[in-house]
């Protein structure tokens, strides 16, 4: 996978110039000093990947959170093991994170990481009591990302198309990134994870592997199909190498495109649209959902397209424009 100048090997994921095997992920370029804790974390990482089906992104975040916790514990009780994870210690750690300015969403994730870890440790017989069960998960303040107006979305697609007119392979890829994210509303990680065989060009469908390894089918329209065809016939062959494998989207060196690079592409495209907010891939996902709902799409259909496990998550996207609310009210209410 192309990650900004470094290739990730097939046998592991590279971080900070070092490699680890598929059995675990290394964070920060170094191992913590306590080999017992590291061994537990490596086992926990395997559990997250193999039994819980958690993504690399989630695993990296959880293990980073846990290493922060064990650093905190080591500073206060050098040599302490897992049994030192008492409720006061966990609360003190979270309080220190909050004092340092951690957002509610970050605190919520760190609490979830600890709860998942201690439950696993209890099941493995490493703990006799799970103190984290009494730890309350801070409610994250759910904020809406900026959303494009439909005319701004159209201008963004035109900007990406214009940039690809000369046939440059990277420009053709960038056009496809922007078009497909907006056309389908899929996550950037899902887009970058697509293989060529995941695309049904005849029926214009994507086979998407979402969170929790749940598979869904997502349609895309004619503009995205045109961008895809140009990429597959002109762009991808120019970048593909022996190590490209089946990856649909490629980096400049032929490896699978990294989501961070895709985010950069979206931000650069948005900068060319006058008056448009500086959104990333999630903003395009949010815009796609909003425009579907404004066009009259059923909420449950949008839920399926986005890959949300609950309808409540999709309802976050239902902030339709005041103009549409007014139009529906005027049409439907007897006293309008």
**In angstroms, what CA-CA distances link 257 with 66, 195, 208, 209, 263?**
28, 11, 16, 16, 11
The yes-or-no answer on residue 211 being catalytic is yes
DSSP for 292-324, please give it. Answer: HHHTT--HHHHHHHHT-SSHHHHHTT----HHH
Residue indicated by tokens 């891939």: 281
Instruction: Give 20's strand partners.
Output: 13
Catalytic residue, chosen from 282, 286, 291, 319, is: 282
Catalytic residue, chosen from 59, 110, 173, 187, is: 187
CB 289 within 8 A of CB 314: yes
Catalytic residue, chosen from 173, 285, 286, 291, is: 285
Q: How far apart are CA 64 and CA 26, in angstroms?
A: 9
Catalytic residue, chosen from 317, 319, 333, 335, is: 317
For residue 194, give the nearest of 242, 228, 230 by alpha carbon. 228
φ/ψ of 18, rounded to 5, equals -125, 160
The yes-or-no answer on residue 286 being catalytic is no
Tally the C-alpha atoms within 13 A of residue 251's C-alpha that lie toward its C-beta. 22
Catalytic residue, chosen from 211, 216, 225, 253, is: 211
Dihedral angle sign, alpha carbons of residues 259, 262, 266, 267: positive
The yes-or-no answer on residue 317 being catalytic is yes
For residue 236, give the nearest of 333, 168, 295, 283 by alpha carbon. 168
Residues known to be catalytic: 187, 211, 282, 285, 308, 317
């Amino acid at each position: 996978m192309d990650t900004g100048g470094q290739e990730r090997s097939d046998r592991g994921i590279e971080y900070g110039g070092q490699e680890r095997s598929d059995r675990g992920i290394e964070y920060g370029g170094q191992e913590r000093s306590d080999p017992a804790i590291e061994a537990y974390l490596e086992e926990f990482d395997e559990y997250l990947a193999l039994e819980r089906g958690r993504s690399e992104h989630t695993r990296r975040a959880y293990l980073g959170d846990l290493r922060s916790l064990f650093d905190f514990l080591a500073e206060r009780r050098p040599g302490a093991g897992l049994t030192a994870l008492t409720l006061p210690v966990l609360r003190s750690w979270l309080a220190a994170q909050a004092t340092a300015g951690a957002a509610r969403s970050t605190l919520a994730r760190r609490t979830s990481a600890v709860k998942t870890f201690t439950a696993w440790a209890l099941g493995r017989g490493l703990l006799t009591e799970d103190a984290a069960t009494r730890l309350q998960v801070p409610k994250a303040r759910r904020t809406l990302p900026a959303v494009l107006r439909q005319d701004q979305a159209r201008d963004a697609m035109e900007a990406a198309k214009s940039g690809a007119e000369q046939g440059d392979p990277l420009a053709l890829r960038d056009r496809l990134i922007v078009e497909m994210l907006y056309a389908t509303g899929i996550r950037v990680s899902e887009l970058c994870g697509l293989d060529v065989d995941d695309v049904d060009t005849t029926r214009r469908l994507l086979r998407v592997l979402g969170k929790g390894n749940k598979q869904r089918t997502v349609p895309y329209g004619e503009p995205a199909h045109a961008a895809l065809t140009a990429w597959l016939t002109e762009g991808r062959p120019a970048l593909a190498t022996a190590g490209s494998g089946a990856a649909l989207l490629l980096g400049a060196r032929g490896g699978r495109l990294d989501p961070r690079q895709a985010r950069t592409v979206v931000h650069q495209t948005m900068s060319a649209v006058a008056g448009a907010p500086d959104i990333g891939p999630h903003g395009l996902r949010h815009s796609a959902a909003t425009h579907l709902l404004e066009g009259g799409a059923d909420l449950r259909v949008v839920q399926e397209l986005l890959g949300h496990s609950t309808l409540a998550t999709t309802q976050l996207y239902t902030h339709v424009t005041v103009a549409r609310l007014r139009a529906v009210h005027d049409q439907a209410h007897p006293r309008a």
